[in-house]
Structure 1
Amino acid sequence: MHAVYKAIDGLNDRIGRFVAWFTLAMVLIQFALVVARYVFSANDLLFLSSLWWQESIVYLHGALIMSAAGYTFLHNGHVRVDIFYRTASQRSQDWTDLVGSLLFLLPVCWLIAWSAWPNVALSWRNFEGSTETSGIPFKYLLKSTVLLLAALLALQAVSTALKAALRLMDEDVVDPYRAEESLD
């Protein structure tokens, strides 16, 4: 059990740290577009249209948000109404994490995947691309990030539930990410 939650936590942590670099890429691309357009009056940048570069910012932004949801949950950075959670005992917090992950988050992840699947599958069947002629021809990859969101978030819900269940059974849980929440 310990190996399972450590593997899931490690996966989401590595993915989150990797896709964080997408933010820098978005800023650099936007800066290059502004300089190319307003300083050099150019509509193209590195032999690609400015529309292609603008769409790449949207793709990076979407991939960042969808891929980092599990990372955000792992690091307790999600939005939570913690009026009761913050002041609750460790045992109550563990029960909340266990029940919340199993009864709420996992079904929501399943619902997201179930509702996105037909659209993603159709997009892949048609190799859907941009509606603009000079845009990025990989819209099917962008749409696939919705399934990635559901998978990574569901995995993190399983990890959170496992850690809570193990703590409720009085087992030692090595969770370096949990220590961060006490810094508030």
Structure 2
Amino acid sequence: MQAIPDFIDGLNRVTAKLIRWLALFMVLVQFAIVVGRYVFGVNSIAVQESVLYMHATLFMLGAGYTLLVDRHVRVDVFYAKASPATQRRIDIFGHLFLLLPSMVVLLYWSWPSVRNSWRILEGPISVGGIEAVFLLKTLIPAFCILIILQSLSLLARLVFWKTR
């Protein structure tokens, strides 16, 4: 039974290992953009947009891992001083009534836009930009799915094994 949560955790760990290098690459590309523009007078809209694409990919696909390692934003007015049992109840409530419903709603409402974007293979954001907005929009459902899966994994651990 614990194999499913372990698989989901592993999926988000592998995803994080694959995308973590985007942070470094994004900084290097941004540095090259600045040097190119101010030193050599060269500019490329597509290269500038690539930083946006890398940033979006890093954060959208890395969110499930962030949830897994408990480094997400938490409003801990009550949580920090609560007992472990109360923290567990707060976590269960948060997953069931806040996180999962919001991800399902976001997935539901974003899907038509993503589907339409793929249907027309939506082009660049700016003239001369990357001709793949459909890929950028696909990050939204991918984000939702990774968060939903990780939330279910954490819920299973909280409910069945009483661990985090």
Q: What TM-score, normalized by structure 1, do the two folds share?
A: 0.83
Identify unmatched segments of 5+ residues in structure 2: none
Match of 2:74 in 1: 80
Give the root-mean-square deviation of aligned CA atoms: 1.5
- Aligned pairs for 1:9-88 (under 5 A) are 9-43=9-43, 50-88=44-82
1:131: how far off?
Answer: 4.1
Residue of 87, 100, 104 corresponding to 1:106: 100
CA distance in 1 between counterparts of 2:8 and 2:133 reads: 28
Q: Are positions 1:127 and 2:121 aligned together?
A: yes
> Residue 7 of structure 1: CA displacement?
1.0
Q: Deviations over 1:76-134 (max 9, x none)?
A: 11111112222222222222222221222111110010010010011000000114332
Equivalents in 2 of 1:61, 1:23: separation in Å? 8
Give the C-alpha shift of residue 51 in structure 1: 0.5
Partner residue, 2:88:
94
Question: Is the 8 Å Cα contact of residues 125 and 133 (structure 2) preserved in structure 1?
Answer: no
- The answer to whether the Cα contact below 8 Å between 1:19 and 1:68 also exists between their aligned partners in 2 is yes
Unaligned regions of 5+ residues in structure 1, if any?
44-49, 179-184
Percent identical among aligned pairs is 42
Between 123-132 and 136-145, the greater mean CA deviation after superposition? 123-132
**Cα distance in structure 2, aligned partners of 1:68 and 1:131:** 23
The farther-off stretch of 107-116 and 5-14 is 5-14
Count of aligned pairs: 164
Give 1:7's aligned residue: 7
Q: Counterpart of 1:66 in structure 2: which amino acid?
A: M
Q: Residues 28-68 of structure 1: CA distance to partner in whole angstroms, max 9, x if unpaired?
A: 1111122222222233xxxxxx1110000011111111111
